[in-house]
Amino acid sequence: MKLYHATKIENIESIINNGIIGNLSNKKSVDLQLNINCVYGFDNLSDAENFIVYDNNQSQYAIFEIETGTNKIIADTEYKGGSYAIICDKISAKLLIEGNTLQ
C-alpha cells in the first residue's frame, strides 16, 4: 500500500538519510490501545497536505511517499479520511513534495 507522510521541512535531510523513525504511540486507534512504534501516513496527498499545513500550522512542509510492504497497517481514527498507522520502528521513504503555503 502506498501512503503519504507529511512533516516539517526541517526533517527532510534526516528522513532521506535515516528513513522515517516510528514514534511510540499510546493513543487509541480502531478501539485498540496502541503502545507500539508507528509511522503515520495518509492514503492521499490532499489529506497529507492538510495535516501539516492546517493541523500543525506549518508554512513549509515536505511529503514523503511510503511503500508499506509487509508491515501491519491499522486505521488511525484520530483523523477523518484515509489516515493509517504503520506498525514499524523505521521505514524508508521517497521525497515527493517540498512545499510552501501562503500565509
Residue 78, helix vs strand vs coil:
coil
Grid coordinates of 30: 480502531
How far is residue 7's CA from residue 15's CA, in Å, rounded to a whole number?
Answer: 10
Q: Hunting for cell 523513525 — which residue is that?
A: 21
Q: What is the pTM of this model?
A: 0.83
As a whole number of angstroms, the longest Cα–Cα distance in the chain is 39
* Tens-binned pLDDT, residue by residue, of the chain (103 aa): 999 999 988 999 999 999 999 877 655 555 455 567 889 999 999 898 888 877 777 778 899 999 999 999 988 877 777 899 898 889 999 988 787 754 4
Identify whether the C-beta of residue 33 lies closer than 8 Å to the C-beta of residue 72.
no
Q: Are strands 83-87 and 32-33 parallel, antiparallel or unpaired?
A: unpaired
Third-level CATH fold of 2-100: ADP-ribosylation fold (3.20.170)
Query: What are 85's strand-pairing partners?
Result: 40, 74
pLDDT at 56: 73
Under 8 Å between Cβ of 102 and 58: no
